[in-house]
Every structure is written in C-alpha cells, then in structure tokens.
Amino acid sequence: MTLQTVQNDASARGNFDAQLDQSIKAAADWLAERQKPEGYWVGRLESNACMEAQWILCLWFIGLEDHPLRPRLARSLRETQRADGSWEIYHDAPAGDINTTVEAYAALRSCGVAADDPQLVKARDWILSKGGLKNIRVFTRYWLALIGEWPWEKTPNLPPEVIHFPNWFIFSIYNFAQWARATLMPIAVLSARRPSRPLPPENRCDDLFPGGRDYFDYELPGKPGADFWDGFFRFTDKVLHRLQSVGRAAGLSFGRNGSVKRALEWIIEHQDADGVWGGIQPPWIYSTMALVNEGYALDHPVVAKALAALDDPRWRVDAGEATWIQASTSPVWDTVLTLLAYEDCDVNGDYPQEVERAVDWLLSQQVLRKGDWSVKLPNTAPGGWAFEYKNYFYPDTDDTAVALIVLAQFRSEQKWIDKGINRAISLGVDWLVAMQSQGGGWGAFDKDNDKKFLTKIPFCDFGEALDPPSVDVTAHIVEAFGKLGLGKEHPAMVRALDYLRREQEADGSWFGRWGVNYIYGAGAVLPALEAIGEDMSQPYIARAADFLVARQQDDGGWGESCGSYMDPSLSGRGKTTASQTAWALMGLIAAGRAQDRDAIERGLAFLFERQSAGTWNEPEYTGTGFPG
C-alpha cells in the first residue's frame, strides 16, 4: 500500500463521516420539527381500501347515508383502484385482493355509483375473473349480509352465549387474540339478530351474481388441508343456524336476550377514552353497528363518541376531496422509536426541549389500570404501555419493551428520578416478566394466547386469530432487559434466549411478526443478543449475519416484500427500502464482524443517497398487522 493510497483512504473516511453526521442532523431536525405540542410523534398508519369501504357501508347501515364523510371516502376508493380494476392489500402487491375489491365495489354501489360506471365495470370483471363471490372471506360475507346482499344463514354463526364461557374453558373469549376478541363480541350480537339494511333496488350488486341469486352457491368453501376439527366446526355451525332459525320461527329466545345484553355491557365497558374500541378499526366499526342495531340512539354518549372519532384528525387523513380512515394510530411506538434514534445517534443534547417533552409524555402514557391481560394474571400489577392514544385495556409487551429501552438512559438523572422514572421502569419490568409465555417467548397482548385449535372455527378466516409468542417482540424485551442491566442469567432471559435459538430459521434469519419480515426478525434479534451480553462469535449469530449480507442488493440496500409471508422463498427479497436497510444495518453492526464493514458502508451509502429533505420516501409497506 502506497502513501497516496493511505491518504486517499483517510480522505474518503473523513468525507464518509461528514456525510454520516450531515444525514443524522438532517433526520433529527426533520423529526424535531414534527413533534406534537404534547411531546409525542406520530406518523400516518396506512392500510388498505377495506377501511374506507367498510366505513361507507357502516354509515349506510346505521342510517347515515347522507353523512358528509361518505363521498370523501368514496373518492379515496376511486383514487386507489388498480389499473386492472382491483384493490390491493399492500402497496405494489403483485395482484389485487378479492375481498377488498368486493367490499369497495359494494361501498361504491351504496353511494349510488352506477353499475356501468367504468371503474365498477372493471372491478366487476376482475372479481368474476377470480372466481367471483364464492371465494370471498367470512368478514366480506358479513358485510354483504348487513346490506342485504347475502343470506345471514350462510354466514358462520357466532353465538353471543360465548360471553358466559368461564375463563378456563377452551372457547373462552380470552383465548382469542385481543383484536379478535374485541371484534368477536359485536359480531356475535349482529349474528344473533341477523339485521340488514338492504340497498335500494337500483344500487344492488346484481352484477356480481351473473347466474342469478337463486342459483348461486352461498356455502363457505372448506379450508385447505381441512381436518376432523374443521368438519366438526362446520357441522356445529349448521346446527347452531338451525337452532337459531327454529327459535326465531317459534318466538323462543333460549335466553339469548340475556346473552346479548351481557355482550353489549362488555362492549360498552371496553370503549376507549377516544371513542374507539381496542385502538383499531374492526371492533370500532362493528361495535358501533351492534349498538345502533340494538336501539342505542346516534346521540347516545357511547355511540356519539364512536362517531365523533371519525372527525378526529388523529384518526382521519384528508387530502383534497378524499379521506382515509386509519386502521390504528401509533403515537407511543413512533415516540419511543424517535427517542431511541436520538439516543443511538448521540444527539439528545442537541434537542433538550424536544427530548424532555417526549419523555414526560411517555411517562404519562404508562397504563396503570388492569385490562384484559389480567384475566390470566389477576395478581399482577399493571405497568405496560399501549401502541395507541387511549387504549387502556390493551397495553402491549412490544411498546413496553421499547419504552423501557428508552427510559433506561434517563434513570440516573435526578429530574427523572423525581418524576418517578424508576417506579415506572420497575412496574414495566415486573409486568413483562409476568407476561412471559410458557415457551420462553412473549406474545403482544396476552400470556399463552396460542391455542391453535381455535383457528379451526369458520369465523377465523380473516388472518391471525391468536397472539402466540413472536421472535421480534421477544427480542425487544431481551434488549430492554440488557439495557437495564439484567443479564442473561436472569431466569426470564434464560428461557427467552432458548426460545430465540429454537426459532431461528435454517437460513439464519428469524420470522418477523410485526415487521416485514425475515429482515425485521434478524434486525431485532441481533441487537438484543448484543445488549444482553451474548457471545457474538457463536455460529448461530454468524449464520444470521451471513443471511443479511447475502440479501444485500446491488444498490447497497435491503428490501423484502410482504409476499414473503405467503412465499418463504421471498425471504429477504424485494424492492429496497430505507427502513429494511436500517434494520439490516442494526443487525450487522450488533454482530460486530470486521468482515461486514464493506456491507455496512454500502448500506449507509444507500441511505445517504435516498435521503431527501431529512427523511426517506417509502410507499412500500414494512409494518405488519396480519401476516399472510
């Protein structure tokens, strides 16, 4: 090596470091400018057209067909239709989704859009080309039943009597995931009553029944790989429908009114402070319809609060003549990630007011009341954080873990000690320890919510109905314990590390439940292992780093499509994005291998090149609600 080469290397290193500093400064400034006055950060949570379509149909069903939101939501549907006539469930998906497309079609018809409208003609043709309505999911069938386009007796029966099942019983509502449980209760009420508000004759969806309604096969297709229990539950469903029909014909309730009453009480008890339910769209929309159908007036405080949330800018996004309703909101998550970024980049001192406001706000968001999680842990004190604004019933272990990672850096400062930071940390740690599942990992909202038997019920075809332990959540908790000085000898960590080792894929990666996907998993686990004091030279860690290096693309970045949830061969493959590149870099930096320096620098160069005005444009979906 010549002196000139050394000088050139030093010059390049200096330029690289300067570029890194500039990039960090621009991003940190961009974030500081977008902090809310209360101290938190929150970005838009994008989903799919089902959100807007279902609100259009809900407002029709409850008699608000003239609600000013309906044409704005319809505009959003028109703007997001694909060229082939379908609607997709994630950005740039390889194909449209039949359920989303049917719901969007029905919603636009309910708004009076003519069947021969060019956009609806394309949607209809696409639906029929994909096998038509016989291929739609259970929830889409419920929506069509609510507007008189599908017979209720051909939807899965969901008896409200489940509210009476004891907590230890296999079919207890508390054995379903948080999001499924909160949705199940209002649908059970609707299923018991079988209500519909038919569309006007001129707006019906006749074009989706080209052979005529009388000749259409409404039966729910069997699940792929169906076993004995699938058949058992389908038979049970038919029996329940028969009993319900006989009871209605004979004027017998079999105690059903009491079950509906108790289910409604449960729904009302679980409403969030901001008017929604569970911090997410499905229980919010179904609970609103169930209450109105049971005679609760639109100006009843519970219903009025639910409808008022539609006008809350924290939930809706207006753009021109269109409106989108978010599937959820993420202020706690976005705030802890921002604070974590500031700490990792060592810029807290440059933004003292922003950091102080954010930590104050974060401490105020700790959930100190018991929620549904306490059904299985009645003697555990609360201490978690939720993802959303006012979701007091459902704190989650993931937000709690990252909140603890953030708070760990401030726990020795007197001003934060005076504000109770150590008590907050202690409560959070104790809550997480209690929430650990038997296998050593953590689910998001409940302990041991993993009874796969329940997924055989016909109702459960909408995605994840359970909340079993996941690698990414477990990794964040391991990292939190490491940052707090609780080493890998801690009993909870011994079990957690064993779980993480067991869950590693053959290619060295880990499955990502709440982020896409194997890159997210590896990017979560490797920093956790480093934080807890694991020997980073172990072969299983090298395999994970090798996976990340092998998946780096020619432009220096990393990317992975949501399609990897359906096709594992797409693991770590897809259009490069800033967030997935950052996750991969976090993993490689934690692995600490000298041989990965070139890959790391190429990844950083990718981020430098893609940064614009301090941030990164990323239309691709890299967060996950329901895999698959």
Query: What positions carry a catalytic annotation?
Result: 398
d(CA 411, CA 424): 10
Q: Which amino acid is at 311?
A: D
d(CA 163, CA 158): 11
Instruction: Confirm if 406 and 336 have CB atoms less than 8 A apart.
Output: yes
CA 531 vs CA 36, 303, 583: distances in Å: 31, 47, 16
Instruction: Confirm if 260 and 192 have CB atoms less than 8 A apart.
Output: yes
The β-bridge partners of 449 are: 467
d(CA 192, CA 26): 56
Q: How far apart are the first and last CA of the chain?
A: 53
Q: What single DSSP character describes residue 457? A: S
Integer Rg of the chain from CA: 26
Host H or E run for residue 318: strand 316-319
Give the distance, in angstroms, between the CA of residue 217 and the centroid of all CA atoms in the same chain: 33
Q: What SS3 state is found at 163?
A: helix
Sign of torsion over alpha carbons 83, 84, 89, 94: negative
The β-bridge partners of 396 are: 385
CA 553 vs CA 94, 580, 623: distances in Å: 20, 12, 21
CA neighbours within 13 Å on the CB side: how many for 191?
A: 27
| CB neighbour class for 24 (10 Å; exposed up to 12, middle 13-18, buried from 19) | middle
Instruction: Confirm if 382 and 374 have CB atoms less than 8 A apart.
Output: yes
